[in-house]
């Protein structure tokens, strides 16, 4: 991640309406302990010990949802899904019976932050991984969480799990991800929360220049780096899947829709239709979160009915480019029954 895009301070700059006249700055994750095979930060990889807390609305949390599915970590790392609409105490478990997460027994994610650091004054963000026995937050470091799932949790991966961060390709993956992070993943937020015309213009130009570059790159290759799905594709996907439903209108990223770029649209549909990607996507949570929470840029809170999402499942014809989605591995199995996105929230 480029330092110019971050600052210390409270997380979730986009989650409130006080972005006022300051340029949009994404907070640096505050709790950056790592869960590793050797447990060097005091948090060893262990089946059943940790709980991943996400909102299906959040692109950063959705990276972890996809990685966890592709790697087959569903049994090892359990999942809590927060209500897409935060209240004044931030993310809450109102989708669960009695409004409490059934494993952690808490009503708000902030309780896990507090258990870790009493009186924690910063923002409460997802993704978060919580240590179940102590109820303490371990990490909300969204940039590191998926890399660690790919490289530190290997002992618990399913047989046939892909290598999402292959050693020989890491330099290239990192380089591609850095540009996509700055101009696309975070770029849409910079456009959406710009507080001056100049700031918006710059974010818009950088965003579409980067999308054009990616479109050219993907015209004759199936995936961003190498010939298999990697972390770079996961990070790109979670922004692309939100593009037409949210970023095009709500964040004013409207030079064109994703569906108007034949290459990127086919690439995104290819991933969407790959087990582990589309089956994590909840369009209802995505739309309601952005349009109802960001009242500073959508004061009425009205959630648009469009776009028509049914085309996400149309043929993409990308297999003809070759590529081996899972390398020498295999696709993940079905979504565990308790984790299925309600059919009404999908295409
Ligand atoms: N952990 C990160 C990034 C993750 C993030 O921004 N997540 C958003 C949701 S997409 C969030 O939880 N924001 C806090 C809030 O909206 O209250 C950060 O420190 O900024």
Who's near 338: CB < 8 A, 6+ residues apart? Answer: none
Stated length of the chain: 347
Could you tell me which CATH class the domain 171-345 is placed in? mainly alpha
What is the pLDDT averaged over residues 285-307? Answer: 98
**192 C-beta closer than 6 A to ligand 1:** no
Predicted confidence (pLDDT) at residue 7 exceeds the cutoff of 80: no
> Quick one: which of 93, 127, 108, 106 has its CA closest to 11?
127
What's the pLDDT score for residue 23? 82
| CB 31, CB 141: distance < 8 Å | yes
Does the CB atom of residue 27 touch ligand 1 within 6 A? yes
Dist CA 96 CA 224 (whole Å): 38
| Mean pLDDT value across residues 171-180 | 98
Instruction: Output the CA 41–ligand 1 centroid distance in Å.
Output: 23
Q: What integer best gives the mean pLDDT of the chain?
A: 94
DSSP character string of 284-298: HHHHHHHHHH-TTT-
- The answer on whether 153 is annotated among ligand-binding residues is no
Look-up of token digits 């692309």: 240
Note the helical H segments in 39-161. 59-71, 110-116, 142-151
Q: Which of 113, 189, 223, 290 is catalytic?
A: 189
pLDDT(20) > 80: no
Helix count (H) and strand count (E) of the chain?
Answer: 9, 6
Cα torsion angle, 333, 337, 338, 340, sign? positive
If pLDDT is split at 50, 70 and 90, which confidence band does 121 have? confident
Q: What is the pLDDT of residues 317-341, one digit of tens each?
A: 999 999 999 999 999 999 999 999 9
What are the beta bridge partners of residue 27?
7
Banded pLDDT at 250 (limits 50, 70, 90): very high
**How far apart, in whole angstroms, are the C-alpha atoms of residue 240 and residue 66?**
14
Instruction: Decide if pLDDT at 262 tops 90.
Output: yes
List the residue whose alpha carbon is closest to atom 16 of ligand 1: 15
CA of 226 to the centre of ligand 1 (A): 30
Domain boundaries, the chain: 3-156, 171-345
Over residues 15-41, the mean pLDDT reads 77
How large a percentage of the chain has pLDDT more than 70? Answer: 93
The reply to whether ligand 1 has any atom less than 6 angstroms from the CB of 185 is no
pLDDT over 50 at 187, yes or no: yes
Q: Ligand 1: which of 19, 31, 58, 241 to mutate, judged by most atoms within 8 Å of the beta carbon? A: 58
Q: Copy the structure tokens of residue 185.
A: 């993943």
Given a cut of 90, whether residue 24 has pLDDT beyond it is no
Q: What CATH number does the domain located at 3-156 have?
A: 3.40.30.10
Return d(Cα 282, Cα 57) in angstroms, integer.
7
Instruction: Specify the range with the lowest mean pLDDT, choosing from 8-12, 184-188, 329-333.
Output: 8-12
Cα(99)–Cα(102) distance, rounded to whole angstroms? 9
Return the pLDDT at 21. Answer: 57
> Contact, 261 vs 33, CB < 8 A?
no
pLDDT digit string (tens) for 91-112? Answer: 999 999 999 999 999 999 999 9
12, 29, 242: residue to mutate for ligand 1 pocket, most atoms within 8 A of CB: 12
Q: State the pLDDT confidence band at 14, using cuts at 50, 70 and 90.
A: very low
């Amino acid at each position: 991640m480029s330092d110019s895009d971050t600052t210390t301070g409270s997380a979730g700059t986009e989650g409130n309406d006080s972005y006022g006249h300051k340029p949009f700055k994404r907070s640096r994750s505050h709790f950056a302990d790592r869960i590793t095979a050797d447990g060097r930060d005091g948090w060893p990889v262990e089946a059943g010990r940790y709980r991943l807390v996400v909102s299906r609305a959040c692109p950063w949390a959705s990276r972890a949802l996809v990685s966890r599915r592709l790697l087959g970590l569903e049994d090892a790392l359990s999942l809590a899904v927060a209500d897409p609409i935060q209240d004044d105490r931030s993310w809450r478990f109102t989708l669960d019976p009695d409004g409490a997460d059934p494993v952690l027994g808490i009503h708000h994610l902030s309780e896990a932050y507090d258990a870790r650091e009493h009186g924690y004054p910063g923002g409460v963000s997802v993704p978060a991984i919580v240590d179940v026995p102590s109820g303490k937050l371990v990490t909300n470091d969204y940039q590191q969480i998926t890399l660690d799932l790919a490289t530190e949790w290997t002992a618990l991966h399913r047989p046939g799990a892909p290598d999402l961060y292959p050693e020989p390709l890491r330099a290239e993956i990192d380089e591609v991800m850095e540009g996509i992070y700055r101009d696309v993943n975070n770029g849409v937020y910079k456009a959406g929360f710009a507080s001056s015309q100049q700031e918006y213009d710059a974010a818009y130009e950088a965003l579409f220049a980067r999308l054009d570059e990616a479109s050219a790159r993907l015209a004759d290759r199936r995936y961003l780096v190498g010939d298999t799905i990697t972390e770079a594709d996961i990070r790109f996907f979670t922004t692309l899947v939100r593009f037409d439903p949210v970023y095009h209108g709500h964040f004013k990223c409207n030079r064109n829709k994703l569906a108007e770029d034949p290459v990127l649209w086919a690439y995104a549909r290819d991933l969407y239709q790959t087990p582990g990607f589309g089956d994590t996507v909840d369009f209802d949570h995505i739309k309601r979160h952005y349009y109802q929470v960001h009242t500073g840029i959508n004061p009425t809170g009205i959630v648009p009915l469009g776009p028509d999402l049914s085309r996400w499942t149309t043929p993409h014809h990308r297999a003809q480019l070759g590529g081996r989605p899972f390398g020498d591995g295999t696709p993940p199995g079905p979504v565990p029954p308790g984790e299925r996105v309600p059919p009404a929230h999908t295409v």
